[in-house]
Amino acid sequence: MDKTVRILNGSDKKIFNELACHPIQSWEWGDFRQEMGNTVVRMGVFTSNKLGEGHQLTIHKIPKTSYKLAMLLRGPLPSTEAIQFIKEYAQKERIIFIRLEPNVTFNLEAARKFLRVSGAVPGRRFFTPETFVLDLTIPEEELLKSFHPKTRYNIRLAQKHGVTVTIENSEKAFEEYLQQTEGTAKRQGFFAHTARYHKLMWKHLHNLGIAHLLQAKYQGETLVSWVVFVWHDTLYYPYGASSLNYKNVMAPNLMMWEAIKFGKSQKLKLFDLWGKEEGRGFTRFKEGYTPKVVEFIGTWDFIVSPTLYKIYRAAENLRWKFLKMPLPLPKPSFR
């Protein structure tokens, strides 16, 4: 059957969101990225005038140049028609390459072969190539029994100490989350999104019921703050921050357990813990809940300008080597 591809408009929002397989492919996420300053392109592949495939690209300017790159993250595997449309759009808009990280977790080798045959080459990863996923359809008692004994002990310990976890979507709670995020980034030495990023994300995703803020408190003090996303049948844990105070009460362990129960209360089927990275503390923490490891198809680049792409990749590699060096340089301002 013949397929047509076109740029989407507001009238397509509902069906686009129904097809979107990840929250960062949602129309609301695109609105957030637009307010952040990105150009957002939503395109759809139609069969017999019915939208059957949707993709949301964010366009990013390359500093100090007139060139751009495009990101297509956590969307479906693009069809041949979608790839051709995206390439043609990129050529007109001075985009030197399109980076894809499809939300594909099955038939991986066949999907990778399709991308290679279509002209894609492996790119530098944006998200981790694997994630952890918990099955929320399992009864609570069975889930709890499946956890590592030390994790179960820490959950009980937090409960014994009187740690409480609640949904706190107030302005005051969100300001606490921002303060904790800044403190966590400085303490652990990673590059966090800015406060503006978090505020705009919250504005667009919370008001429409996608983003929710959970807080773990002890003796009236907030020890842990998490932002979770609800999208279709899945709960996601993209952002978390914590305090160094009262580490002995094990608030993060109870936070995860209560987040699981929140997902079950919403009748969700899966809990995506948003990333797995060997050797990192957050990975060891998540492993205590015995989640399933899920592998993605990986990162792929469609090159539009070969010469400029080589220059960009060389600069990209150099930049990350520089950022990882233990130099006495100031961290970017969170504010």
Taking only the tens place, the pLDDT of each residue in 81-139 is: 999 999 999 999 999 999 999 999 999 999 999 999 999 999 999 999 999 999 999 99
Residue 320: per-residue pLDDT: 62
- Give the per-residue pLDDT at 249: 98
Reduced to 3 states, what is the DSSP secondary structure of residue 140?
Answer: helix
pLDDT tens for 122-132 read 999 999 999 99
Please give the CATH topology (third level) of the domain spanning 137-268: Aminopeptidase (3.40.630)
pLDDT band at 326 (very low <50, low <70, confident <90, very high): low
Q: Could you report the per-residue pLDDT of 296-322, keeping only the tens digit for each?
A: 999 999 999 999 999 999 988 887 666
Query: Using an 8 Å Cβ cutoff, are 178 and 197 in contact?
Result: no
pLDDT above 70 as % of the chain:
93
Check: CB of residue 101 under 8 Å from CB of residue 73: yes
What's the mean pLDDT in 171-190? Answer: 84
What are 183's strand-pairing partners? none
CA distance 193 to 10: 28
Q: Quick one: CA torsion of 241, 71, 56, 89, rounded to 10 degrees?
A: 160
Residue 330: predicted pLDDT: 45
* Angstrom distance (rounded) from CA 43 to CA 40: 10
Report how far residue 146's alpha carbon sits from residue 127's, in angstroms, rounded to the nearest whole number. 27
Among 262, 258, 288, residue whose Cα is nearest residue 153? 288
Contact 201, 213 (CB under 8 A): no
Q: Record the pTM.
A: 0.93
Nearest Cα to 191, choosing from 330, 18, 10?
A: 330
pLDDT of residue 185: 74
pLDDT recorded at residue 278 = 83
Q: What is the mean pLDDT of the chain?
A: 93
Q: What pLDDT does residue 203 have?
A: 96
The pLDDT value recorded for residue 188 is 66
Least confident interval from 26-30, 41-45, 182-186, 281-285: 182-186
From CA 253, how far away is CA 223, in angstroms rounded?
Answer: 12
Q: How far apart are CA 27 and CA 270, in angstroms?
A: 21
List, in sequence order, every residue forming a beta bridge with 5; answer none if it has no partner. Answer: 45
| CATH topology agreement for domains 3-128+297-324 and 137-268 | yes
User: What type of residue is 203?
Assistant: K
Pick from 147-151, 160-164, 187-191, 224-228: least confident: 187-191
Could you state, in order of their start, the residue ranges of all structural domains in the chain? 3-128+297-324, 137-268
Tell me the mean pLDDT in the region 274-278. 89
Tell me: pLDDT of 193 over 90.
no
* SS3 (DSSP) at 5: strand
Cα–Cα distance list, 220 to 59, 95, 176, 238, 335 (Å): 43, 51, 13, 25, 26
234-261 per-position pLDDT tens digit: 999 999 999 999 999 999 999 999 999 9
Output the CATH code of domain 3-128+297-324.
Answer: 3.40.630.30
* Across 38-47, 137-146, 179-188, 264-273, least confident range: 179-188
CA dihedral angle for residue 159, residue 161, residue 162, residue 164, rounded to 10 degrees: -60
Among candidate residues 334, 59, 35, 57, the one with its CA nearest the CA of residue 200:
35
pLDDT at 327 over 80: no
